């Protein structure tokens, strides 16, 4: 008999925690997981899945308009926020159930409550129950960061945006990252007046400059307003329920809702980490090595709580690598090079590898290839919106080191192209591939 109640106790049943639990259990480990919110974590419950469903819903605004150019007699349509919201939340419920079934089918014990560390190999549940485990995995993810300023309590975050009682006519969104730009596109297509307020002068830091400039241009053309170098001073709630947003270097803005999208921080507060000696970095993230092990040998961490790359597929890979390494006898290390990413803005962005600036700094001699074009569908629809594809090539080796795209279905196209970048293929390999015509993706093999 083991001296521990479980071989593995996981705190957090998000994407990384669920994958680690399932794989560890399949290797024969006795596994338990504690989740204080809902099984599925940020991505399934209040992140990428419900957001993508809203993105799909928002696209119908342009599709219905464009359909008339393609011969469809479309009557004037009215958008019903309540219907979309409720259908999205129902889908979230369904997915949560499937995640629960997965854990149950692998005989993983689920405690639907908060758990905190009280020792290197012991946790305490909210009801006071203490449980021991040979190893503990922290997979508590991230949490929206809300700056402190007067009236910040009147704002919402991406956690609450999916539950709005009604669609706001005017929305102020704080931030310039992917969450801010994605929800700006969503609300704008639904008919809301959208203003993005950024304390700096750049949107989408980390993405290629040409691509983010193109999104800014298109977003402004669509009617989204941008305020740069305008930090929040306060939010005032008015007698009629509206909000007045006071900004530096900018006139006050009246809105029906304010969405704070200024980034996410590792969810490590109140877990008892400091008490057991788990080291954190300056951002509050858990320090781990390539093997996902923390400064305490029996405690590991995966996903956004480690603040390496805050993407769901990365958390899943880390959870799998941890379980295979520790319980499956298959030492595995996650490769963080050339991880593809997307921004589901309107239009969307896909990217993998180095930006032009990064490549120049690292490689020195590079070649860049671009294709700036209107998608065939946009031409017939009379829509002037242009796509932009960009390829970065190491001049010394001809290897493609970066691909950056903005345009219809860019993430779908980029996923396949990312395989080529990951494999280290060359510009000549792209050139030797016959184009699939007519398609937008063929531009990748026709770049000159």
Question: Do you know the residue count of the chain?
Answer: 448
437 counts as catalytic: yes
241 carries a ligand binding annotation? no
Please state, in angstroms and rounded to a whole number, the distance separating the CA atoms of residues 119 and 125: 13
180 carries a ligand binding annotation? yes
Please state, in angstroms and rounded to a whole number, the distance separating the CA atoms of residues 445 and 3: 60
179 carries a ligand binding annotation? yes
Q: Cα-flanking dihedrals φ and ψ of residue 22, to 5°?
A: -65, -45
Q: CA–CA distance from 92 to each of 44, 88, 98, 344, 438 (Å)?
A: 7, 6, 10, 19, 36
47 carries a ligand binding annotation? no
Catalytic residue from among 65, 163, 283, 437: 437
Evaluate whether 272 touches 122 at the Cβ level (below 8 Å). Answer: no
181 carries a ligand binding annotation? yes
304 carries a ligand binding annotation? yes
Please state, in angstroms and rounded to a whole number, the distance separating the CA atoms of residues 189 and 58: 5
Evaluate whether 15 touches 41 at the Cβ level (below 8 Å). Answer: yes
- State the number of CA atoms in the 13 A half-sphere of 45 facing the CB: 20
Backbone dihedral region for residue 175 (phi beyond 0: left; psi -120 to 50: alpha; all else: beta): left
Please state, in angstroms and rounded to a whole number, the distance separating the CA atoms of residues 346 and 367: 28
Please state, in angstroms and rounded to a whole number, the distance separating the CA atoms of residues 371 and 328: 46
Burial of 305-343, coded b for 16+ CB within 10 Å and e otherwise, reads bbbbbbbbebbbbbbbbbbbbbbbeeebebeeebbbbbb
Q: Cα-flanking dihedrals φ and ψ of residue 128, to 5°?
A: 95, -10
Please state, in angstroms and rounded to a whole number, the distance separating the CA atoms of residues 380 and 383: 8
87 carries a ligand binding annotation? no
**Annotated binding site, which residues?**
52, 175-182, 263, 304
**Annotated binding site for FAD, which residues?**
52, 304
Residues with catalytic function:
437
**Annotated binding site for NAD(+), which residues?**
175-182, 263
């Amino acid at each position: 008999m083991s001296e521990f109640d479980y071989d593995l106790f996981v705190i957090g049943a998000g994407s990384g925690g669920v994958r680690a639990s399932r794989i560890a259990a399949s290797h024969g480990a006795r596994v338990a997981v504690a989740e204080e919110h809902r099984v599925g974590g940020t991505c399934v419950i209040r992140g990428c899945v419900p957001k993508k469903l809203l993105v799909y819903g928002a696209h119908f605004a342009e599709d219905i308009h464009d359909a008339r150019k393609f011969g469809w007699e479309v009557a004037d349509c009215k958008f019903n926020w309540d219907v979309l919201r409720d259908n999205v939340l129902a889908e979230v419920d369904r997915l949560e159930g499937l995640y629960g079934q997965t854990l149950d089918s692998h005989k993983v014990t689920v405690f639907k409550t908060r758990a905190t560390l009280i020792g290197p190999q012991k946790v305490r549940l909210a009801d006071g129950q203490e449980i021991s485990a040979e190893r503990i995995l922290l997979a508590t993810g991230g949490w929206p960061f809300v700056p402190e300023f007067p009236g910040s309590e009147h704002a919402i975050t991406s956690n609450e945006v999916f539950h709005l009682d009604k669609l706001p006519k005017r929305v102020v969104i704080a931030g310039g990252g992917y969450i801010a730009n994605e929800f700006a596109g969503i609300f704008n297509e639904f008919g809301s007046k959208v203003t993005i307020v950024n304390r700096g002068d750049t949107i989408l830091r980390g993405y290629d400059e040409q691509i983010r400039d193109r999104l800014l241009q298109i977003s402004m053309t669509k009617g989204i307003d941008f305020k740069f170098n305008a930090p929040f001073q306060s939010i005032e709630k008015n007698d009629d329920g509206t909000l007045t947003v006071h900004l530096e270097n900018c006139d006050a803005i009246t809105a029906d809702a304010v969405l704070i999208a200024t980034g996410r921080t590792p969810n490590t507060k109140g877990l008892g980490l400091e008490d057991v000696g788990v080291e954190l970095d300056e951002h509050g993230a858990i320090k781990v090595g390539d093997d996902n092990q923390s400064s305490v040998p029996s405690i590991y961490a995966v996903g956004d709580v480690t603040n390496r790359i805050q993407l769901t597929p990365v958390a899943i890979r880390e959870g799998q690598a941890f379980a295979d390494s520790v319980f499956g006898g298959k030492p595995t290390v996650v490769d963080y090079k050339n991880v593809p990413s997307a921004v589901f803005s309107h239009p969307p962005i896909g990217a993998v590898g180095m930006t032009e600036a990064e490549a120049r700094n690292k490689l020195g001699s590079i070649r860049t290839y671009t294709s700036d074009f209107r998608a065939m569908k946009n031409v017939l629809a009379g829509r002037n919106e242009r796509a932009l594809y960009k390829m970065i090539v190491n001049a010394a080796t001809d290897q493609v080191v970066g691909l950056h795209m903005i345009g219809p279905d860019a993430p779908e196209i980029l996923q396949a192209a990312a395989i080529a970048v990951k494999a280290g293929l060359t510009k000549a390999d792209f050139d030797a591939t016959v184009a699939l015509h007519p398609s937008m993706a063929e531009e990748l093999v026709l770049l000159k």
